[in-house]
Every structure is written in structure tokens, then in C-alpha cells.
Structure 1
Amino acid sequence: MSAAQSSAFAKSYSGFLFDMDGTIINSIAAAERVWGNWARSKGLDVEKFMPTMHGKRGVDTIGQLNLPGVDPVAESNLIMEAEIADIEGVVALPGAIDFLASLPPERWAIVTSSPYRLAMARLDAAGIPVPRFIVTAEDVKVGKPDPQGYILGAQRLGLRTSDCLVFEDVMAGIKAGEAAGADVLVITATHSHPVETDHSTLLNYENVRAHVDGNGKMSLVRNG
């Protein structure tokens, strides 16, 4: 393992910033049901389209398609309502609930591309309590891969992004964390293909714990 790959486990951080979907919860089946139906209704190649929608705000995903006569705001609102209605199979990643519960509540935040109401529905379905700090789609002008969300998340913790570790699962979010100036840890539990990354990787939260020192700095410790 290279120094770059092991770095997240060799350092301590003042704050942790978590993406939500694919990083602390698995909502892929529900998201792909809703987005697949939408893509088919617009005549898109569903197989080619699906990988492009993960990790980004719905309004950004739709806007980038430049579909004639399609209003990205209106369409993304319709998709959000469909996603709120379909939470079947939304679950926490293994070990995520206990891992998050072990962290000082003022030291971590969720930074998600999901709208607020959808984030609340999915966290509830997965059994994850709403954190003290959360950044959702409505809080930023530009979504991931722009770093705005992670910069805002760090600000809400009263920290610099360089003092934070970002937990992510897809390229749009990884790029956002990098651009924010934070270290990145890639969660691979929901990946169907190996991810090519120089960042530290972790399957899920079953074999890792957070150590909090006397100054509130957090570090990751592998179990066993």
C-alpha cells in the first residue's frame, strides 16, 4: 500500500464529512428504479445513463442532458417525490449506525446531493438519526463535483476543509472532496466494479472504529 493510500489511517482529523447515498446508506436499488423509469420515459439509453446520475444533484444531472422541452427543476422535483415514495430496500451500510453514533456529534456532518426531504426519508428508512449538521441539495448553488458542499459542511463544523476527512463513494463526490482541499476515504461497499483511486479505501464500517483523543481529534483504527 502506498503512502497516499494509507494516509487516511495515519492521520487524525478535526471533522468527518460524509456523503450519504452509497457512503453511509445503500439506496442504489430505489434510486435506480426511479431514475430508470424516468430515463425510459425520455427515450434515453438507460444502461448508459444510469452511471451518470450517482452522486450528483438531480437538477444538475437533468440539466446536463439538455433535453428539448424538459425543465430540469420541474423534472427533478417529480423525481424527488418518486424517490421519497420509494424507500424499499434503503438500508444502512454494515457498521455505519454504530460508527456514526461513536463520533462526537459536533465533529461530523452529512454532505449530500439529495434534497432535504429525500435525505430525511432515507435516513429514517435506514435507521440513522439525523445529525446535528447536514448540507443538502438546497444549500448549494452548484452541486458535486463542485466543492461548495464540502466547504459549507466544514464551515458548519467551524473547521477548515484541510482538517477534515471526506467519506465518499463516487467520482463526482471524490472530486468535490479533492477540490475542497480535504483528504478523501472511498467507501466501496456498493461498487459493482473496482474503483481506481489513490485514496484510502474501506469496504464498510464493520472492521473500523474511530479513536477520539483528548483534544477531540478523530482517527480511524482498523479492528483486528
Structure 2
Amino acid sequence: MPQFRGQNYAAFLFDMDGTMVDSSVVVERVWREWAERHGVDPATVLAACHGVRSEDLVKRFAPTGIEVSGEVAVILAAEVADIEGVVPVEGIGALIESLDPGRWAVVTSAPRQLAEVRLRAAGIPLPKVLIAAEDVERGKPDPQGFQKAAALLGVPVTACLVFEDSHAGIAAAKAAGAQVAIVGKLAAEVEGHHALVDYR
């Protein structure tokens, strides 16, 4: 069983962007251009874009009358075509190599096509279980993605450890009843029992 800080877990469930793959340069580049094109304050969009589905962001910020599915398709095409600056989070490769392939999964707000492109660009093997944006009816902060990943791995989600870097992802993991370990800068902002993770 995967072990983290002396405790065994049934499985590890990883968010992707910011947790396994550092794609922040691309994410901010694409969403800044989208916001400027539609006359939306880029800073407001960028503050909300991490950890949530493109569909949900477009619904929240797009001007009235915008066709959501068309905008989502444009954004996806831009993100898939732009992998400059996509790199693995330091130390994640060694951690993944140490895990049984049946004991970890990825739960991302990115569409499957984009998730596969970014994981490959970062040199991270594709997981046996990958829950992407189109695999759930409700994205993070809803727990559905983590619940579905655990079910496909054949383990209770309450016995899993989730690695996350966004408020939406942490809320989703907690709502699922999983334990949470925070990757990156967010740990300093979050109160509670969460642990800051350094994969190195």
C-alpha cells in the first residue's frame, strides 16, 4: 500500500496541474488572452482559473450571449497546442515510479485530451485511472471525481490520500472524505491538518 509520512493509504489520488505538472505559464497565457479578448479583467479570471473546469469558468465570466461549448473548444485547442513551459513538478517522477500502477490515479479538471498532452510533455506515465473534466457531471469542488477514481481503483475514497494545490480541489477531496496533502504555495494559506508536500 502507498505510504506517506508513516501512514498507509489504499491509494493516492493526484490532481494534475500544479500537483504533478507545472503548466502555470501556459494556463495563465491562454486565460489571459481569453479574458482580454472578451473584455474581462484578466486578474479576476486568473485568480479563479486554477483547479476548475474550463466550462465552469466560461459560464462564470463570459459576457452574456456567449456560446459556452464553442468557447471551451477554442480554449482547449489553444491549451493543447501550447506546451512550451510545461514541466514536471520536481520529484514527482520518482514518486510515481515507486507506486504500484493500480494504487494511484489522476483526477483533473482538464479535458482528457489536454491531460494526456501535458502528462506526456512532462514525461509522466499515463495512469490506469484518469478522471478528466468530461468524466464527471460536476467538477471540483464537487467530490464526484475523487469518488469515481477510488471506485475504479476498487478502494474506499475515505482510505485514499489526495494531493492537491487548489482551494476547489481541497474542498472536493474533503467532501469525498479523503485525507488531503497540499502541494505548493497554497499550504501557507490553508488552516487545519493539511500537510505541505515536497516530493524531493
| Shorter-chain TM band | over 0.9
Moved more, 194-203 or 80-89: 194-203
1:105 aligns with 2:101: yes
What is the aligned-residue identity percentage? Answer: 44
Aligned pair partner of 1:202 in 172, 196, 199: 196
SS of residue in 2 equivalent to 1:167: strand
5+ long unaligned stretches in structure 1: 1-7, 207-224
Shift of 1:194: 3.4
- TM-score, normalised on structure 1? 0.84
- TM-score, normalised on structure 2? 0.94
SS of residue in 2 equivalent to 1:64: helix
Deviations 1:15-68 (A, max 9, x none): 110000000110000010001000011111111221101100000111123621
SS of residue in 2 equivalent to 1:17: strand
Q: Looking at both structures, which has the greater relative contact order when contacts are Cα pairs under 8 Å and sequence separation is at least 6?
A: 1
**Contact 2:187/2:195 (8 A) holds in 1:** no
5+ long unaligned stretches in structure 2: none
**Contact 1:186/1:199 (8 A) holds in 2:** no
Shift of 1:195: 2.3
Q: Distance in 2 between matches of 1:74 and 1:20?
A: 24
Aligned equivalent of 1:17? 13
- The aligned amino acid for 1:197 is E
How do 1:25-64 and structure 2 match up within 5 A? 25-64=21-60
Deviations 1:155-211 (A, max 9, x none): 0100111010000000000000000010000001xx3893223243334310xxxxx
**Greater CA radius of gyration, 1 or 2?**
1
SS of residue in 1 equivalent to 2:12: strand
SS of residue in 1 equivalent to 2:150: helix
- The aligned amino acid for 1:99 is L
Shift of 1:10: 4.8
Report how many residues are paired: 197
Q: Distance in 2 between matches of 1:28 and 1:157?
A: 29
Q: Distance in 1 between matches of 2:41 and 2:198?
A: 31
**Contact 1:93/1:204 (8 A) holds in 2:** no
Q: Distance in 2 between matches of 1:12 and 1:46?
A: 42
**Contact 2:13/2:146 (8 A) holds in 1:** yes
Q: Distance in 2 between matches of 1:118 and 1:66?
A: 21
- The aligned amino acid for 2:194 is S
Q: Distance in 2 between matches of 1:156 and 1:89?
A: 32
SS of residue in 1 equivalent to 2:154: coil
Aligned equivalent of 1:170? 166
- The aligned amino acid for 1:150 is F
1:183 aligns with 2:182: no
More helix by share: 2
Shift of 1:149: 0.3
Aligned equivalent of 1:85? 81
Question: Where do 4+ consecutive residues of structure 1 move more than 4 Å?
Answer: none
RMSD of equivalent CA atoms: 1.5
- The aligned amino acid for 1:202 is L
